[in-house]
Chain A
Amino acid sequence: MSTAADLDMRVPSGTTLLNGWGRTAPSAAHVVAPASAGEVAAVLSGAGKAGGAVPRGLGRSYGDAAQCAGGVVISSGRLDRVLGWDPDSGTLRAGAGASLDALMRQFVPRGWFVPVTPGTRHVSLGGAVAADIHGKNHHGDGSFGRYVQSLTLVSPTGAHRLSPGDDDAGSYWATVGGMGMTGLVTDVSLRLIAIETAYMRVDTERADNLDEVMSRMTDSDADFRYSVAWIDCLAKGARLGRGVLTGAEHAQLADLPARLRGQPHAFAPRQRLDVPFTAPGGLLNPLTVAAFNELWFRKAPRRRQGEILSLAAFFHPLDGVGSWNRLYGRRGFLQYQFVVPHAGSEVVRRALEALGAAGVPSFLAVLKRFGPRDPAPLSFPIEGWTLALDIPVGARRLGAVLDDVDEMVAAAGGRVYLAKDARLRPELLPVMYPELDHWRARCRVLDPEGIMTSDLGRRLGWLEANPA
């Protein structure tokens, strides 16, 4: 007799089903949480036989980057301490499992802010390095790897202290944006930036179509440290790509209204709402999303200057809603982000048209101009336009439409963001990331036996040498 209980006994004991923030393609792995670099090394030495290993921070990559089906997932959760702080240089040393949220809660009240933040505070330092995260200040400030002074990497060959200033910085840059394939980062020394207040001074402007959004961004980007546009993907025809631009600076003390000046560094963001269960599939459909987008567009002022917003309200509005990914229902969602060089900027329009024609609803689309790239071979940002879309799984032809957009992006010399990818055709990876071979060679030095692997890596075949 085969019973459910018998079957459960056959399940490898102690495995955990993991998925990314998009809640698609789950897989089961052994999760371990070492508390020191020595323990990480011990885990890695046993991981070769156990089906490979990948680091995992807070699980906020959207796809399968921090999953290792049938293998070992090394959580950085216990490596979360602040290890040192030098107020003279503003340099912080912390465990790779420390979240930007925890760091901000500790250091914003002292007048310091992280140099780069994505749209959520709930990412770990290790994840920030592995994905070489970018923020609304990329056009001027670049991505995360630029602000790391040094880090400790435990690779299968041992512990390495790496820095962008090394004579041979190849291992450092292979780790930055390297999606955990060089080993596990255990601690990071990071330069923070000084801020006079915990507030932002924000200018908002509405634009009626994509050309207007892009030309205004091109003209005004240099005036702002932070700049981004929200795009209504469902507007069609002459209104295609209408959007709301925001540009912002850290507010000076003098910018604050009197009631805020007493405690200019107050920072205690709260989660205001929670999504307690998975919503029924189809809640976010073309109708509801179009209604939301219409409201969002109309509520934005045609033009407003000097609005004072808290750091959390400006950078991390979605962090106010716990588990918002459940709104997308059981099937989950894709976050699709690409960048194309300026010469290929028309791909932004063609992508919006293709998705619109297929009736694919996108809730939040974010458009931004990236500045110059970092030397990391697998880092996503290159100079040009980037568009990020949230798309519920389930729309008919979604796979085919995104395949078409991938082709346009690759042909224009662009690429998709690996921390968000969940479905790229493997053949396009070396086209989008032409330095892949170079990166792979460096991975082989740090991990000669190929112990580091992930569902993302297996799916894209990035560690397999190209068939000659």
Chain B
Amino acid sequence: MASITIKDMSVSYNKGKSFVLDNLSLDIKNGEFCVFLGPSGCGKSTAMHCIAGLLHPMSGEIRFGEEVMTSANRKGRDKTFVPPQERNIAMVFQEYALYPNMTVRENMSFALKTKKVAKEEIAKRVDYMAKMLSIEQLMDRRPAELSGGQRQRVALGRALVRDPQVFLLDEPLGNLDAKLRDQVRYELKKIQEQLGITTIYVTHDQTEAMTMADHIVLLKDGHIMQQGTPEEMYDHPANEFVAGFLGTPQINIFFCEVKGNILDAGSFKLNIPEHLRTCLVPYAGKKINLGIRPSDLELAKDKMDVIKGHVESIEPLGDAYLIYVRVGEQIVVFKYTGEHAPKEKELLLTPNMAKLHLFDALTEKRINR
């Protein structure tokens, strides 16, 4: 088990003309479950491959604990580079990458045999992990004879059996159906907590990130947009991108103007609450973006701070309803948790004033703390 420190790491595929990762710096604590989250092409898998030693960064440093694994100068020359086979890491790929010519038992034993671990020890560890993942009855089968979920468990088992110091998971649930994904997600988190192995998990699915992570690193275009606990990032997104990326359905964004103590969105006006007034002083007369999460809207009880809208459609979720409301030219999503969906076509909504998110219209950075 080890902490991971990344310092000023840059990766370029075209000799520095453009960067896939640009000066990435990051600390992952020992035993932490860290999720690299972001849209396709943001550099999350690249960062993981650098940590695994499958890619050489152009510059920067990667340490496992105190031990330097990769250190490269700006010219892309490695000062130190520990090859992947010597890093004592385990990795699970989205494609599972099970060896087709080997049985499940052989797949799980392969890395230990390479390390020349004693046969009895290999059998003991493999049997323990097989029991833990409920795959004991599959041990003599080949990967082609397994279902997607079974393959995924074998891939996990193969990685965990090694007792690695770092555990890397590159979108491992991407090929599973929704039900199985939920189940494996729970099991994976449970096993990680039991074993306490420092884990990095790459995904573009914000639900996976929110439910599993101790620490989320949200990336965009090779830069860290924000990092922190899931609660911190959800409740206090550092910018509009983070606010939009985390949470389903997506946050509603309104373009507003600060007019005295009023936020004027054109189609509605809100009184600026006391706790937001100080931070909005520099924005007097200027435009800002107001973010309200669908779950932070409710049906108005009085005429104060209301958003009037016309119901366009209603999606029942079982335990709640997603109501799409037209407010001016904009469609606003409202998550209603009442027992029956409202029958009125015109709704008066009011936001939870304690949970408003204000962003600078130009920089898209968060204004309120």
- A and B bound? no
Q: Which residues of B contact A (CB under 8 A)?
A: none
**CB within 8 Å of B: which residues of A?**
none
